[in-house]
Amino acid sequence: MGSDDLFNKRKARESSTLQRKKHARAQKKRYLIVCEGTKTEPYYFKELLEDLHIRQQVRIAPNNGVTPDRIVKHALDLYDNEALSGDTYDQVYCVFDRDTHTTFDAAVQRAKDLSSRGKPIEAITSTPCFEFWLLLHFGYTDQPFYAAGKKSVGDQVITMLRKKPGFNKYGKGNEGIYTQLKAKIDSALDHAKQLRKQHTITLSINPATDVDRLVLVLQELAA
């Protein structure tokens, strides 16, 4: 056997060993997700985690108040309490909507400040609401949403979502949403990425979503 063959085999073994080590490190990671919603978002992420077989590595915590500032504060408390117990989360994600929350911008900035000080807390936001992420599964759109009449800005997104196949009876708190949309998730990821590029041109953040970032992190954790 030539020296080149021995070298290639050794490199292959080293690469395989490195991949196993990376996978082992990833399997030790622990994430925390704190959602604004009490049903819709937790149901979605629980189904996603079960599908990816990483339910034991990611905790979805009930919220302690539905305003963005309360979500970030609760997430910080949970992170600090876990650290005091001798363990810690590798990353904490706060999932909340812009909607009409007056504390939205301050909560996003608070998460950034905490992260810069070594607290791994990240805001995962949607404008106007989480349902916009669901809408992206059906096609790309950068149509802005506004309240009109008796319909809130969130209601406007839900109205559009209900026009999509299989979603005519959609309501807050529905279970099985992730499973229903699973086959379209790659399209939603592409559309969210496309929209983010569009933001750099239009400087608009209506509509917007960061849920794709969290989905990609969870998919990577499962890889």
pLDDT for position 10: 58
**Cα 51–52–57 angle (5° rounding)?**
120
Q: Is residue 162 part of a domain?
A: yes
**Does the pLDDT at position 11 exceed 80?**
no
pTM, to two decimals: 0.86
pLDDT for position 4: 58
* Of the listed ranges 16-20, 97-101, 142-146, 180-184, the one predicted with least confidence: 16-20
Q: Is residue 7 part of a domain?
A: no
Sign of CA dihedral 32, 39, 157, 192: positive
Question: Closest Cα partner for 105 from 205, 218, 5?
Answer: 205
**Does the pLDDT at position 24 exceed 50?**
no
Give me the domain span that covers residue 26.
21-222
Q: Is residue 9 part of a domain?
A: no
Q: Is residue 165 part of a domain?
A: yes
Would you give the end-to-end CA distance of the chain in angstroms?
A: 35
CATH code for the domain in which residue 38 is found: 3.40.50
pLDDT for position 23: 47
- Average pLDDT on 173-193 reads 97
> Mind listing the pLDDT tens digit for each residue in 38-91?
899 999 999 999 999 999 999 999 887 889 999 999 999 999 999 998 889 999
Domains identified in the chain, total number: 1
Q: Is residue 4 part of a domain?
A: no
- Average pLDDT on 88-104 reads 96
Q: State how far the alpha carbon of 179 is from the alpha carbons of 73, 141, 171, 176, 183, in Å.
A: 31, 22, 16, 5, 8
pLDDT for position 143: 94
Q: Is residue 8 part of a domain?
A: no
Q: Is residue 14 part of a domain?
A: no
Q: Is residue 56 part of a domain?
A: yes
Query: To the nearest whole percent, how much of the chain has pLDDT over 90?
Result: 79
